């Protein structure tokens, strides 16, 4: 019964290996202290036996089990052990420091012993409190006999000591007189140790693992709530996306009529309901085109892919339901095996906050047998231009506008077909700040004519470039085998 399936102490498998199948050959109290020694013997061959010793330290909060080999060396322990004792496997066992083991000082006898109880080694707070509550039941001399074992009687013979198993404040203890609830030894010492020593250790570990796992689940639930709030804010911001795009379109359409340095303009806008006037704020320090690009940038940040948002919202809701189910199951967990199963399932559960696969900043395409590579941030641009390309490859970039570096890899010096150049130019336009414009001017040249600007991450200078005017959406239509705009 000591080796229950729920008892997953490090000592458990070693007890199965060294004690199960052995014969209990002796039980004694060690040195008059609260330590019980169980001797086991098992035959392993003709005339050869293996001796093992299980020491049970019943010392209150520092209860422990120690398994010794026949040579007296420690094989393993049930916990980290108590202060003052050695617990390293392979080292000799040393009993814990006994209360007042040194020669007694005069002040430690008589009534002064009562006041020394809280500081006596190996005493424990619960046993000390029980002794103070029961002190009036015996004389000081009787208490000295209980607390100071090893003293001699008047005839010179050692005083006989006894150990009564009892429970003090939920802990198993051994003392010369009954202070708490008596523990019957009829069930056997192994059953008693399992019930009062090993099982509490296992329950304590189980409670600790439950608290840790509950904290992790609640942390994930809090993250799901944060994601939901972020999506709600994103949806609210998307309501202004059309206004930003309209402002950019109007600025470009009326660019010749807007005076340089204007801080605000009012432009006409025709809708199905009729003529409207739209007020647009401008940055006086920027050109009309740059103001339009700023509005397009706000539009790109604000626009919402409703299908993607709905799919992610469903993932978040599914994850929340799964986490709440984990929390419910955790409240019904009774074994460490169930804890391990929950941990594995929680680890395997999908997390919608993690980046999706395929979100690398370096995009790769294959068009008409040519490999086209685009960078979508500064570090990726540097990698595409100066790591992934060769000197004879073609390099593309939107003219005078921040954006992607695009490379068409070439097997030699021959130029690719016109459609491949348009495809790569469209990619450079699409991954630039002018992606919402109808057309964009894109420069291209051999990569060997591109030079990095010192002190920057991805800024470059280039020469011998040609220019192509393309639509930012052309590359997608070319991949689908269409040359006309959707719906055209």
What pLDDT sits at residue 307? 57
pLDDT confidence band for 31 (50 / 70 / 90): low
Report which of 475, 478, 461 is spatially closest to residue 395, judged by C-alpha positions: 461
What pLDDT sits at residue 8? 55
Report which of 367, 384, 402 is spatially closest to residue 450, judged by C-alpha positions: 384
Q: SS3 of 43, please? A: strand
For 404-429, how does the pLDDT look when each residue is reduced to its tens digit (9 = 90+)? 999 999 988 888 999 999 999 999 99
Mean pLDDT taken over the chain: 80
Lowest mean pLDDT among 70-74, 77-81, 176-180, 383-387: 77-81
What count of other Cβ atoms lies within 10 Å of the Cβ of residue 396? Answer: 27
Q: Are 19 and 52 in contact, with CB atoms under 8 Å apart?
A: yes
Pairing of strands 64-69, 74-77: antiparallel
C-alpha angle with apex 420: 414 to 422, nearest 5 degrees?
120
For 286-307, how does the pLDDT look when each residue is reduced to its tens digit (9 = 90+)? 998 889 888 888 887 777 655 5
For 317-329, how does the pLDDT look when each residue is reduced to its tens digit (9 = 90+)? 888 888 888 888 8
Residues in Cβ contact with 261 at an 8 Å cutoff, skipping those fewer than 6 apart: 284
Residues forming beta bridges with residue 466, ordered by sequence position:
444
Annotate 264-293 with b (16+ C-beta within 10 A) or e (fewer): ebebeeeeeeeeeeeebebeeeeebbebbb
Residues in Cβ contact with 263 at an 8 Å cutoff, skipping those fewer than 6 apart: 281, 282, 283, 284
pLDDT at 357 over 60: no
Distance CA 484, CA 182 (A): 93
């Amino acid at each position: 019964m000591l080796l229950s399936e729920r008892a997953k102490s490090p000592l458990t498998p070693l007890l199965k290996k060294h004690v199960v199948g052995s014969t209990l050959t002796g039980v004694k109290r060690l040195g008059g202290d609260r330590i019980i020694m169980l001797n086991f013997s098992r035959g392993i061959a003709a005339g050869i036996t293996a001796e093992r010793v299980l020491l049970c330290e019943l010392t209150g909060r520092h209860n422990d089990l120690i398994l010794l080999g026949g040579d007296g060396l420690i094989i393993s322990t049930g916990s980290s052990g108590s202060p003052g004792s050695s617990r390293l496997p392979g080292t000799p066992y040393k009993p814990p420091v006994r209360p007042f083991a040194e020669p007694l000082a005069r002040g430690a006898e008589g009534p002064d012993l009562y006041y020394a109880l809280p500081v006596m080694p190996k005493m424990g707070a619960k046993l000390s409190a029980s002794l103070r509550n029961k002190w009036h039941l015996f004389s000081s001399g009787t208490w000295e006999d209980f607390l100071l074992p090893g003293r001699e009687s008047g005839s010179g013979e050692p005083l006989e000591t006894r150990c009564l198993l009892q429970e003090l404040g939920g802990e198993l203890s051994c003392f010369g007189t009954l202070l708490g609830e008596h523990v019957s030894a009829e069930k056997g010492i192994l059953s008693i140790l399992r019930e009062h020593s090993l099982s509490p250790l296992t329950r304590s570990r189980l409670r600790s693992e439950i608290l840790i796992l509950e904290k992790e689940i609640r942390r994930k639930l809090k993250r799901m709530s944060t994601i939901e709030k972020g999506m709600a804010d994103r949806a609210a911001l998307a309501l202004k996306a059309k206004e930003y795009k309209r402002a950019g379109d109007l600025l470009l359409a009326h660019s010749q009529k807007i005076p340089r340095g204007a801080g605000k303009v009012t432009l006409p806008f025709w809708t199905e309901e009729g003529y409207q006037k739209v007020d647009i704020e401008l940055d006086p320090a920027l050109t009309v085109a740059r103001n339009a690009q700023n509005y397009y940038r706000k539009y790109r940040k604000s626009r919402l892919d409703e299908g993607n948002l709905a799919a992610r919202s469903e993932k978040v809701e599914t994850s929340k339901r799964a986490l709440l189910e984990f929390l419910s199951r955790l409240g019904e967990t009774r074994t460490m095996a169930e804890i391990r199963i929950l941990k594995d399932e929680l680890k395997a559960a999908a997390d919608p906050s993690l980046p999706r696969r395929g979100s690398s900043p370096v995009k790769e395409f294959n068009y008409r047998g040519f490999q086209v590579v685009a960078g979508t941030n500064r570090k990726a641009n540097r990698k595409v231009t100066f790591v992934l390309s060769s000197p004879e490859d073609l390099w593309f970039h939107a003219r005078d506008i921040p954006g992607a570096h695009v490379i068409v890899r070439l097997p030699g010096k021959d130029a690719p077909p016109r459609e491949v150049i348009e495809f790569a130019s469209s990619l450079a336009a699409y991954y630039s700040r002018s992606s919402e414009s109808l057309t964009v001017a894109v420069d291209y040249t051999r990569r060997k004519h591109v030079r990095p600007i010192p002190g920057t991450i991805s800024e470059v200078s280039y020469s011998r470039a040609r220019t192509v005017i393309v639509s930012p959406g052309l590359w997608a239509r070319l991949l689908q085998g269409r040359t006309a705009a959707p719906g055209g």
